[in-house]
Amino acid sequence: MTDLPPTAFPRGFASDNFAGVHPRVLEGLAAVNRGHARAYGDDPVTAALRAAFDRLLGQPVTTHLVFNGTAANCLALSAFARPYGAVICSDVAHLYNDERTAPERILGMRPLPVPSVFGKVDPASVEAVLRRGHGVHAVKPVALTLTQPTELGTVYSLEELRALCEMAHRHGLGVHVDGARLGCAAATLGASLREMLVETGVDAVSFGGTKQGLLCGEAVLYLRPGIGGEFPYWQKHAMQLASKMRFVSAQFEALLEGDLWLENARWHRSPASRWSSRCRPTRSSPASRRSGSHRSSGPPSSGPGTRRPGWSAGCAPGTPSQATWPASRPPWRRRATSLFVRADRRRPAPAPKRGACAAGSGQL
């Protein structure tokens, strides 16, 4: 093993991807590292994990495990895929901005971005996109994907999720939630996954593993019975079927046991909330400028942050203020998803080079 100096791993708040693996997850891995087990998910650890997800959601769900979040999103959406289809998403969605052409390549579908306010979309703007089509000539939206919490660290309330799901279903769209950091949303809302996902009408979920404490692995959950029946074929086709699946499952088991995922999320949130309470509102945030639809001169509750009547541009009570959160980030960090962003990094920076994937740009 390379003998690295202690300084080789400095603490870095740019991304939760910089973090290590939770010790209890490593213990879970070690615990199943004995004997032999059947491959490709046909093992007792994976069976136990599936039962654990059923309990967590309060109903039988279909659970599949993949290696990374991009695959979880694309493959989760396979349940709705049509060769002429499109997936509606926010203009800051990871699916749209950070998954290169994986949705097009894997699903054969195009992401259709909708202007967002602080990372969130609302039913009216989604419906505006739905109205844009012109029959067989246009791409046909078949699904709506929402990120919870959003790429800007904001959170859809239960009412907002319910309204979006209701609207989407009315138009025949399936609803997927990219929950790379779902625990942070559950902790923020003080809601169970059943309340946040099942009772609001979400059909499919990417339940994050890596960003919630695992070494590697993400779960795709189908909540609506009867959908995603062909997932295993899509998964193998996309080279995302782990042979030694029990080691991915064991990590998730550790994450779910004693609600470690929620414990990690609460720990994530507390310094972020402390920090945000020290931020000042600014006149116009990069995020609002980018969405081109909203100017903020104060907290959302003061008026300008609410784009549509009854629609909150902010996040749930107790979360960092929307008016200050994206604005306090320098432009090169404005889509950083970590809830930890160093408050002292205020220096102006050149526009981010979208193509640059070298070390240091991995903040997503």
Ligand X SMILES: Cc1ncc(COP(=O)(O)O)c(C=O)c1O
- Which residues are at the interface with ligand X (CB under 6 A)? 68-70, 73, 94, 147, 151, 178, 180, 210, 337, 364
Instruction: Report the residue number, 96 or 231, with the smaller CB distance to ligand X.
Output: 96
Which DSSP string corresponds to 186-230? HHHHT--HIIIIITTT--EEEE-SGGGT-SS-EEEEE-STT--TT
Q: Which residue is nearest to ligand X (CB)?
A: 69
Instruction: Report the residue number, 177 or 262, with the smaller CB distance to ligand X.
Output: 177
Least separation in angstroms between residue 1's CB and ligand X is 25
Cα(76)–Cα(220) distance, integer angstroms: 6
Instruction: Report the residue number, 53 or 96, with the smaller CB distance to ligand X.
Output: 96
Secondary structure of residue 125 in the 3-state scheme: helix
Instruction: Report the residue number, 210 or 319, with the smaller CB distance to ligand X.
Output: 210
Q: For residue 201, count other CB atoms closer than 10 A to its CB.
A: 17
Least separation in angstroms between residue 362's CB and ligand X is 8
Secondary structure of residue 364 in the 3-state scheme: coil
* Alpha carbon distance, N-terminus to C-terminus of the chain: 29
Least separation in angstroms between residue 361's CB and ligand X is 12
Instruction: Report the residue number, 43 or 211, with the smaller CB distance to ligand X.
Output: 211
Least separation in angstroms between residue 36's CB and ligand X is 29
What sign results for the dihedral spanned by CA atoms 166, 170, 171, 175? positive
Least separation in angstroms between residue 212's CB and ligand X is 11
Instruction: Report the residue number, 73 or 78, with the smaller CB distance to ligand X.
Output: 73
Least separation in angstroms between residue 236's CB and ligand X is 18
Cα(119)–Cα(91) distance, integer angstroms: 8
Least separation in angstroms between residue 309's CB and ligand X is 28
Secondary structure of residue 10 in the 3-state scheme: coil
Cα(69)–Cα(66) distance, integer angstroms: 8
Instruction: Report the residue number, 130 or 364, with the smaller CB distance to ligand X.
Output: 364
Cβ atoms of 29 and 209 within 8 Å: the answer is no
| Buried b or exposed e, range 98-137, using 16+ CB within 10 angstroms | bbeebbeebbebbbbbbbbbbbbbbbebbbebbeeeeeee
Two structure tokens written together for 238:
């996309």
Instruction: Report the residue number, 210 or 322, with the smaller CB distance to ligand X.
Output: 210
Cα(294)–Cα(281) distance, integer angstroms: 14
Least separation in angstroms between residue 151's CB and ligand X is 5
Least separation in angstroms between residue 89's CB and ligand X is 11
The half-sphere exposure of 279 on its side-chain side, counting CA atoms within 13 A, is: 29
Cβ atoms of 177 and 94 within 8 Å: the answer is no
Cα(56)–Cα(207) distance, integer angstroms: 12
